[in-house]
Chains A and B, each alone.
Chain A
Amino acid sequence: MQFFNEFTQTIINGVAIGCIYGMVALGFVLIYKSTEVINFAQGELLMLGAFIAYSLITMLHFPYWLALITTILAMGIVGALLERVVLRPLVGEPAYAIVIVTIGISYFIKSVVSMIPGWGTDTYGFKTPFTDKYVRSGELVVSWEYISIIAIALLLIAAVFLFFRYSRMGTAMRATSQNQLAAVYMGISVTRVFSLTWTIAAALGGIGGILLAPITFVHMNMGFIGLKAVPAAVLGGFTSPPGAIVGGLIIGITESLAGVYLPDGWKDIAAWIILIGVLIIRPQGLFGIQEKKKV
């Protein structure tokens, strides 16, 4: 019973953190699919989201839900601004150059955060309506905090998937990532598609930050945790949105199990071992398709 209890909790923790990795990975994948750029600032967008939520909740005393929605909107605006100011002028430059620019963006976000009064390099935290609440079922005890993370993440991920599957703009965004030239012939504004892609990716990163903060801390270096989403995205095939979520979950769960049942140190490399293992067996990743070459 003791083992069952611990095991269940470990899995739930892993799923919760895996959902966060998955969401951040989804941001990577969306940007990569439409612009062929790997956005290395995705982790810092998570960190920025956490700081914004922290300020709204502890300094401005926003209720949690309002803070959540406001942070999502604020991060969406940040994403749109980044696209407009930094990335749009670089359209047409080689992808590797733009990737380097995203590393620059990540340093920029970090230094801005370190300079803002009340933020800086200290460690903060905030409470949610779910902090220190537990569900009990017989011997089993599960924290509401983790359940709420899973529920909110799955809800928002579902919203993103429904948007891409059924809305006109979402379909247009998929169309643009498949055939940009044909999209232009349809009257789809590629600029608008790119802008919206960055908006959604930054919002996803920001949500990752709000959800992660209660179980870790709010800190300037939180972005490193967000970078765990890279192996998650690669595991899923890097061009597959569902793959990103599944990859995130696999890495979250593995890490969580390794943290409890393996000696110290394994936790941090578990993700990479799984990644290497999967890539040896399936070089295209779990959900990737072998590049279809036009002959």
Chain B
Amino acid sequence: MSVMLKVRNIETYYGPIMAIKGVSFDIEEGAVVTILGANGAGKTTILKTLSAIMDPQKGTIEFMGKRIDSLPPEKIVAMGVSQVPEGREVFHDLTVKENLLMGAYLRNDRAGIKRDMDMVYDYFPILKDRIAQLAGDMSGGQQQMVVIGRALMARPKLLMLDEPSLGLSPLLVKEIYGIIERINKEHKTTILLVEQNAPMALSIASHGFVLELGRIVMDDTCQALMANEDVQEFYLGIKEDSVRGTKRWKRKKKWR
């Protein structure tokens, strides 16, 4: 397996505020990778930097061996990097079908677009029943399907998803994750997943990063992360009462 995305030391600012403080990581081709982190850790900012919505002040980003950190967003999409942004950004006054076609905006292979349209309808049959409906009139969960389908229409090599499970029912979260797994298996699409729902993300990813206040503090396989006590406590919400209780008490005592 070769490295598809190589991020080195990126620093990204909102005005004077440094949101990403020197982040480096690699993503292997064909992998499913997740970034975990609390609210405000900088996960969305990293994805925005990768899509060139924001420019890094420092650092480099390499995709398939080419520097992309100074390219405009449309060039990056054209190279095969697509993103499902946070918060279901549909085109509310376009129909479902038009939304999906916008995903293929930079493509010119009619036959391929047609085939991928059928593929999206196969993943999300409800979209096929609603092709003529305005995306703004779809339910939240259906809108999430529209934006995932729309990103797939670009035929990305690397698909980045920013909190795809936000606000969805547990059943729908399962369904969406099933589809993300299928996309990875059936099309060898590399997936970068940003999530608050750590149990779900760790269950399908092979590798994970933990981000805290703009820095990566853990970088390991998901198996190792799941076994890690801090990850268990802060991201998986597991508290082994007796053992952890005493340990925490001891820990507190240490610096008291």
**B-contacting residues of A (Cβ < 8 Å)?**
168, 171-172, 174-175, 178-179, 181-189, 292
**Do residues B85 and A181 form an inter-chain contact, with CB atoms below 8 A?**
yes
Report B101-112 CB contacts with A as 1/0, cut-off 8 Å.
111011000000
In whole angstroms, what is the CA distance A184 to B85 when docked? 11
Residues from chain B with a CB closer than 8 A to the CB of A174 are 91, 93-94
Chain A hits for B136, CB < 8 A: 292
Taking CB atoms, residues of chain A closer than 8 Å to B53 are 181, 184-185
Which one of B73, B78, B83, B154 has the highest number of Cβ atoms from chain A below 10 Å of its Cβ?
B73
Please tell me if the beta carbons of A186 and B77 are within 8 angstroms of each other in the complex. Answer: yes
| A243: min CB distance to chain B, Å | 14
Proximity bits, B78-98, A CB within 8 Å = 1, else 0: 100011010001111110001
A interface, by DSSP: helix, strand, loop or mixed? helix
Report yes or no: B94 in contact with A181, Cβ–Cβ below 8 A: no
- Whether A185 lies near B89 (C-beta < 8 A) is yes
Picked from A168, A184, A187, the residue with its CB within 8 Å of the CB of B101 is A168
Contacts known (A171-B94, A171-B98, A175-B91); A185 close to B82, Cβ less than 8 A: yes
Q: Is B150 an interface residue (CB 8 A)?
A: yes
Please measure, in the bound complex, the distance between the C-alpha atom of A181 and the C-alpha atom of B92, giving whole angstroms.
13
Nearest opposing residue in chain B for A174, CB measure: B94
B128 to nearest A CB, angstroms? Answer: 19
Residues of chain A within 8 A of B89, CB atoms compared: 179, 181-182, 185
User: Would you give 26 A-B contacts (Cβ < 8 Å), ordered by A?
Assistant: A168-B105, A171-B94, A174-B93, A175-B91, A179-B89, A179-B90, A179-B91, A179-B92, A181-B53, A182-B85, A182-B91, A183-B102, A184-B53, A185-B53, A185-B82, A185-B83, A186-B103, A186-B106, A186-B150, A187-B73, A187-B74, A187-B78, A187-B105, A187-B154, A188-B74, A188-B105
Q: Is the CB of A185 within 8 A of B51?
A: yes
Q: Is the C-beta of B72 less than 8 angstroms from some C-beta in chain A?
A: yes
Query: Which of A172, A178, A181, A292 interacts with B105 by CB under 8 Å?
Result: A172
Selected from A171, A181, A189, the residue in CB contact (under 8 A) with B102 is A171
Q: Smallest Cβ distance from B46 to chain A, in angstroms?
A: 15
Q: Which residue of B lies closest to A184 (CB)?
A: B73
Closest to A192 in B: B74
Q: How far is the CB of A169 from chain B (nearest CB, A)?
A: 9
Is A189's CB under 8 angstroms from B92's CB?
A: no
Q: How near does chain A come to B242, taking the closest CB pair, in angstroms?
A: 44
Tell me if B82 and A189 are in contact (CB < 8 A): no
Of the candidates B51, B89, B102, the one having the most CB atoms from chain A within 10 angstroms of its own CB is B102
Q: A175-B102, A181-B85 are in contact. Are A189 and B93 (CB under 8 A)?
A: no
Q: How far is the CB of A92 from chain B (nearest CB, A)?
A: 13
Docked complex Cα distance between A32 and B147 (Å)? 26
CB proximity of B133 to chain A, nearest CB, Å: 15
Docked-complex contact A182 and B90, CB < 8 angstroms:
yes
Known contacts A175-B102, A186-B103, A186-B150; 11 additional CB pairs below 8 A are A168-B101, A171-B98, A178-B93, A179-B89, A182-B89, A183-B102, A185-B51, A185-B77, A185-B82, A185-B89, A186-B77
> Please, how many angstroms separate the alpha-carbon atoms of A179 and B91 in the complex?
6
Candidates B92, B98, B106; contact of A187 at CB < 8 Å:
B106
For residue A182, which residues in chain B have a CB less than 8 angstroms away from its CB? Answer: 85, 89-91, 147
- B98: chain A residues at CB < 8 Å are 171, 175
Chain B residues in 8 Å Cβ range of A187: 73-74, 77-78, 105-106, 154
Which B residues are CB-close (under 8 A) to A179?
Answer: 89-92
Residues of chain A within 8 A (CB-CB) of B103 are 186
Within 8 A of A (CB), among B92-132: 92-94, 98, 101-103, 105-106
The docked-state distance in angstroms from the alpha carbon of A188 to that of B78 is 10
Complex interface: chain B residues within 8 A of A186 (CB): 77, 102-103, 105-106, 150, 154
Distance of A226 from chain B, by nearest CB (Å): 28
- Complex CA gap A293/B92 in Å reads 13
**Within the complex, what minimum Cβ distance (angstroms) separates A224 from chain B?**
34
Nearest CB on A from B90, distance (A): 7
Tell whether, in the assembled complex, residue B85 and residue A188 are in contact, meaning their CB atoms are under 8 Å apart: no
Closest 4 CB pairs of A and B: A187-B77, A182-B89, A187-B74, A187-B106
Q: Is the CB of A178 within 8 A of B102?
A: no
- Closest-by-CB residue of A relative to B103 is A186
Closest to B98 in A: A171
Contact partner of A189 (CB less than 8 A), chosen from B74, B85, B101, is: B74
Give chain B nearest CB distance to A197 CB in angstroms: 16
Please give, as numbers and ranges, the residues of chain B lying within 8 Å of A168 by CB-CB distance. 101, 105
